[in-house]
Amino acid sequence: MRLLRSPYGGGDVARERGVASFSTQANALLRKNLTFQASNAFLKFLKGAGVTMEFKFVKETPKVGTKFRLDFSSLLGPLFFTWVVQLLFPVILTYLVYEKQQKLKIMMKIHGLTDGPYWLISYLYFLLLSAAYIIFFVIFGSLIGLNFFRLNDYSIQVVFYFIYINLQIAFAFLVASFFSTVNTAAVIGYIYVFGSGLLGTFLLQFFVEDPSFPSKIISQRELVENLVMEKNISNYPVISDNLRKVYPGRDGNPDKLAVEGLSLALPQGECFGMLGPNGAGKTSFIHMMTGLIKPTSGTAYVQGMDIRTDMDGIHTNMGVCPQHDLLWETLTGREHLLFYGRLKNLKGDALTKAVEESLKSVNLFYGGVGDKQVRTYSGGMKRRLSVAISLIGDPKVVYMDEPSTGLDPDSRNNLWNVVKRAKKDRAIILTTHSMEEAEVLCDRLGIFVDGSFQCLGNPKEEAHLYTNSLGFFLF
Ligand SMILES: Nc1ncnc2c1ncn2[C@@H]1O[C@H](COP(=O)(O)OP(=O)(O)OP(=O)(O)O)[C@@H](O)[C@H]1O
C-alpha cells in the first residue's frame, strides 16, 4: 500500500497507480463545478487502487455561524424551577415552628388570640409573602429572557402559581405540627426541597420534556374560543375553530381521520409554517380552508367570513399556491396573471401594472420570459409563476402548499426571496417538509403529525423538537 500526501500531490506514486489519468477526469468535473461528485469518485478510485491519503492540507468546510444564546436555567432544566419555587417552604415551616418553640403561640393564645384568627392571619401573611416572591421571580426571569416565562402564557402561569403557593402554605401548616424545634424543621424542610425537586424531575421529566406536551396547543385553542366568543376576530385574518376532517372509508376500508380538531389563530403579517411528514393532513387542512373539501365538523373564519357559508366572499381575497402547479401549458406567464388578476377584480391600468410588478417580483419579466408559453418553462419558473398567481390582486390570506418542493437550491432561494417580500401585511400559511424552509420563511411553526399539532412555536425553538421527535416519524 502506498501513501499519497495530498489529493493533488504525490505525483510519482499517483502516476504509478494510474492516478494521473483519473485526476484529468476529476479536474474536468471540478471545472464543471461538480466538486462533490469529483471528490467522491476520486476517493473511490484511490480506495480501489489501495492508496491512502493524509489530509494534511485539507481545511474544514466553513460552517454557518450560529447565535450564542445563554439560557442558564436550561443547564439545570426543570430542577431550577422546582427548587426556586419551593424555597419558601422551609421559610414558612421554620417560622411556624419558631412560634411554637418560643411559646409565642401560647402567649398569644393566653392574650386572647383564638386559633381561627391566628391561622387566618398567618395564612394571609404567607400568601402575600409567597405572592411577592413569585412575582419577583417571574419578572426577573422574564427580564433576563428565560424560556420558561417567555413561552408560557402569563394567565396560565398566574393560575398555576396561585394554586401552588396555596398548596405549599397548607402543606407547611401540616408539616409544622410534627416539629417542635426550629433546627430540625429547617434541616428537614431543606432536605424536602432538595429531595422532592430531584424526585419530581426524575418522575415528571418525561412529561415536561415530551414534545407533544400540549401547553401551547391548549392555549391556542383557548385563544380561538375566546376570539370566536367575543367576535373580536378582525385582527386575526385566519381562525380555524376545531376543524376536523374524516374521509369516509371505501371498499371495506375504515374511515380516515385526516385532520383532528385543529384550532389556530393567525394574526395579520404572520407567516405560519405547517411542518410534517407525508399524510399528516396538511393538504386536507388547506383544502378545507380554500373550499375544495367540506369539513366534517368545526369551522374556520377567513377575515371574519365563515368557510361554511361565505366561501365566495373568501375567494375574492385569498391566494393559493397548490402543491402541484395547475397551469395551462399553452398560455404565457403574463396571460395566467392577467386571467387571475381579472378574477380578483383588477381592471385596466391597475391590472397591467399589477401583472408587470408580479412578473418582475418572481424574475419572469426580463428577457421576455413572461411572454413565453408555460410549456417552455423549467420547474422552478412554473413554481415561481404559481407563487405569483397566489399573490396577484394583493390577497390578505395566502396558502402555499409545499411551494419549493422539487426545486434546485438556486431556484428555491429565488422563490424564498419572493415569499419573504410578500410576507408583509398578509397572513400566509405554508406547508413544508423542510425545516430549513420553515426557518427562513416562517414566523411561527406548527409540527403536524397524524392530523394534529404536536407542538407550536418559533421555528428556531422548535427546530430541535423537529429533529428529535419528527425525525422518528419521517425517517
Ligand atoms: N380523498 C381522500 N380520501 C380518503 N383519504 C384521503 C383523501 N385525501 C387524503 N386522504 C388521506 O388523509 C391523510 C392526510 O392526507 P393529506 O394529503 O392531507 O396529507 P399531507 O400532510 O398533505 O401529505 P403530503 O405531505 O404527502 O402532501 C392521508 O392518510 C391520506 O391518505
The three-state (H, E, C) secondary structure of the chain, written as one string: CEEECCCCCCHHHHHHCCHHHHHHHHHHHHHCCCHHHHHHHHHHHHHHCCEEECCCCCCCCCCCCCCCCCCCHHHHCHHHHHHHHHCHHHHHHHHHHHHHHCCHHHHHHHCCCCHHHHHHHHHHHHHHHHHHHHHHHHHHHHHCCCHHHHCCCHHHHHHHHHHHHHHHHHHHHHHHCCCCCHHHHHHHHHHHHHHHHHHHHHHHHHHHHCCCCCHHHHHHHHHHHHHHHHCCCCCCCEEEEEEEEEECCCCCCCCEEEEEEEEEEECCCCEEEEECCCCCCHHHHHHHHCCCCCCCEEEEEECCEECCCCHHHHHCCEEEECCCCCCCCCCEHHHHHHHHHHHCCCCHHHHHHHHHHHHHHCCCCHHHHHHCEHHHCCHHHHHHHHHHHHHCCCCCEEEEECCCCCCCHHHHHHHHHHHHHHCCCCEEEEEECCHHHHHHHCCEEEEEECCEEEEEECHHHHHHHHHHHHHHHHC
Q: How confident is the model at residue 47 (pLDDT cuts 50, 70, 90)?
A: low
* Cα–Cα dist 239/263, whole Å: 7
ipTM of the complex: 0.95
Domain shared by 326 and 450, yes or no? yes
Of 74-83, 234-243, 276-285, least confident by mean pLDDT is: 74-83
Domain shared by 408 and 333, yes or no? yes
- CA-closest residue to ligand 1 atom 22: 283
Domain shared by 309 and 425, yes or no? yes
Whether 42 is in a domain gets the answer no
Domain shared by 275 and 148, yes or no? no
Distance 401 CA to ligand 1 centre (A): 13
- Please give the pLDDT value at position 7: 39
Distance 285 CA to ligand 1 centre (A): 10
Q: How confident is the model at residue 27 (pLDDT cuts 50, 70, 90)?
A: very low
- Please give the pLDDT value at position 184: 92
Domain shared by 149 and 233, yes or no? no
Which of 184, 209, 234 is where one domain is finished?
209
**pLDDT at 195 exceeding the cut of 50:** yes
**pLDDT at 325 exceeding the cut of 90:** no
**pLDDT at 101 exceeding the cut of 90:** no
Q: How confident is the model at residue 84 (pLDDT cuts 50, 70, 90)?
A: confident
Q: How confident is the model at residue 259 (pLDDT cuts 50, 70, 90)?
A: very high
- Please give the pLDDT value at position 471: 40
Q: Which of 98-107, 125-134, 136-145 has the highest mean pLDDT?
A: 125-134
**pLDDT at 80 exceeding the cut of 60:** yes
Which of 209, 232, 247 is where one domain is finished?
209
Domain shared by 178 and 237, yes or no? no
- Please give the pLDDT value at position 261: 84
Q: Which of 14-23, 59-68, 255-264 has the highest mean pLDDT?
A: 255-264
Q: Establish how many alpha carbons lie within 13 A of residue 73's alpha carbon, considering only the half-sphere containing its beta carbon.
A: 18
* Cα–Cα dist 27/4, whole Å: 17
Q: Can you tell me the mean pLDDT for 95-114?
A: 80
**pLDDT at 460 exceeding the cut of 80:** no
- Tell me the angle at which helices 348-361 and 379-391 cross, rounded to the nearest 10 degrees: 140
- Please give the pLDDT value at position 399: 92
Domain shared by 359 and 255, yes or no? yes
How many separate domains does the chain show? 2
Q: What is the pLDDT of residues 136-191, one digit of tens each?
A: 988 887 887 676 776 677 888 889 899 999 999 999 999 999 998 999 999 999 99
Mean pLDDT of the chain: 77
Which of 243, 244, 247 to mutate to test ligand 1, by most ligand atoms within 8 A of the CB atom? 247
Domain shared by 246 and 382, yes or no? yes
* Cα–Cα dist 422/430, whole Å: 13
- Please give the pLDDT value at position 53: 58
**pLDDT at 69 exceeding the cut of 60:** no
Whether 314 is in a domain gets the answer yes
- CA-closest residue to ligand 1 atom 28: 279
- Please give the pLDDT value at position 28: 47
Of 4-13, 269-278, 289-298, least confident by mean pLDDT is: 4-13
Q: Can you tell me the mean pLDDT for 93-109?
A: 83
Distance 291 CA to ligand 1 centre (A): 16
Domain shared by 294 and 153, yes or no? no
* Ligand 1 atom having least distance to the Cα of 283: 22
- Please give the pLDDT value at position 475: 28
Domain shared by 164 and 231, yes or no? no
- Please give the pLDDT value at position 61: 59
Q: What residues line ligand 1, using a CB cutoff of 6 Å?
A: 247, 256, 258, 276, 278-284, 323
**pLDDT at 125 exceeding the cut of 90:** yes
Whether 23 is in a domain gets the answer no
- Please give the pLDDT value at position 86: 87
- Please give the pLDDT value at position 207: 59
Q: What percentage of residues in the chain have a pLDDT greater than 90?
A: 21
- Please give the pLDDT value at position 230: 63
Which of 158, 187, 209 is where one domain is finished?
209
Domain of residue 462 covers: 215-471
Whether 400 is in a domain gets the answer yes
- Please give the pLDDT value at position 39: 52
Q: Can you tell me the mean pLDDT for 233-241?
A: 80
Whether 222 is in a domain gets the answer yes
Domain shared by 197 and 260, yes or no? no
- Please give the pLDDT value at position 445: 86
Q: How confident is the model at residue 12 (pLDDT cuts 50, 70, 90)?
A: very low
Whether 65 is in a domain gets the answer no
- Please give the pLDDT value at position 168: 93
Domain shared by 265 and 393, yes or no? yes
Q: Specify the pTM.
A: 0.57
- CA-closest residue to ligand 1 atom 9: 284
Whether 220 is in a domain gets the answer yes
Q: In Å, how far are 244, 264, 284, 396 from 258, measured between CA atoms?
A: 8, 16, 7, 27
Q: How confident is the model at residue 65 (pLDDT cuts 50, 70, 90)?
A: low
Q: CATH code at 305? A: 3.40.50.300
Which of 245, 284, 287 to mutate to test ligand 1, by most ligand atoms within 8 A of the CB atom? 284
- CA-closest residue to ligand 1 atom 17: 283
- CA-closest residue to ligand 1 atom 1: 247
* Ligand 1 atom having least distance to the Cα of 276: 21
Distance 98 CA to ligand 1 centre (A): 67
**pLDDT at 328 exceeding the cut of 80:** yes
**pLDDT at 326 exceeding the cut of 50:** yes
Whether 50 is in a domain gets the answer no
